[in-house]
Amino acid sequence: MQEKILIVDDEKDIVKMLDYNLKKEGYRTISAYDGEYALDLAGREHPDLIILDLMLPGLSGLEVCKALKKDSKTAVVPIIMLTAKTQEADKIVGLELGADDYMTKPFSPRELIARIKAVLRRVKEKEKLPEIFLSGDLKIDFGKIAVLVKERPVELTAKEFELLKTLLKAKGRVLSRDYLLDTIWGFDNALEIQTRTVDVHIRSLRKKLKTEAKRIITVKNYGYRFEGES
């Protein structure tokens, strides 16, 4: 099946150029010229990847990125940002919010397509977890649902195990509290009192993981990510 790519840029010539080159490579495309419509399209059309310009009318690209990563329907969709050379700080913030890559304008369509292929390939690889995960003193056997730290068994509840597994599957990407609630507990559009559920389970998980607790990183006012590869 052809991958669908959402192009978000207020410069119509860039959208037209990307649309032509992406279709030539066999991708399906949809387009938005502002942030609000981009969010609407992303929620309805379920794109496989989003090309997102940071300089947009109305909602900025950073605001769009943040909203996409907070929504459980779009949180895992990879994002490649388009930035101007003067937007160095915004680029860093965008990557911290969960964007997967960036291109500086002006850019080569061929290089962007190569980046798109690489990001989509990484996403497919990330969807798979090894049967046994090893990192530092942490060992997880997903088949046996067993967790060990320094070869000692760690007793986790079912929700704690799912929480750890979900963080691992994200492979370093930041997951919002709302996304974790919706994925693990099934709460959509969670209230503040519900989001504390995630924090409580994270605290318990960290306590049980002891020396490996440092791998679960808090991203202030947003959510959590897991640091470390197998």
**CATH code of the domain covering residue 70:** 3.40.50.2300
pLDDT at 125: 66
Asked which of 126, 144, 172 is the last residue of a domain, the reply is: 126
| Residues 8 and 121 occupy one common structural domain | yes
| Residues 219 and 173 occupy one common structural domain | yes
CB 170 within 8 A of CB 226: yes
Mean pLDDT, rounded, of the chain: 86
| Residues 182 and 103 occupy one common structural domain | no
| Residues 176 and 222 occupy one common structural domain | yes
- Please give the tally of structural domains in the chain: 2
Three-state secondary-structure class, residue 38: helix
| Residues 218 and 139 occupy one common structural domain | yes
| Residues 39 and 149 occupy one common structural domain | no
CB 71 within 8 A of CB 41: no
Asked which of 105, 126, 147 is the last residue of a domain, the reply is: 126
pLDDT digit string (tens) for 7-52? 999 999 999 999 999 999 999 999 999 999 999 999 888 899 999 9
| Residues 74 and 143 occupy one common structural domain | no
Asked which of 80, 101, 126 is the last residue of a domain, the reply is: 126
Q: Which residue's structure tokens are 């502002």?
A: 34
pLDDT digit string (tens) for 80-130? 999 887 767 877 888 888 888 889 888 999 999 999 998 888 777 666 666
What is the domain range of residue 68? 4-126
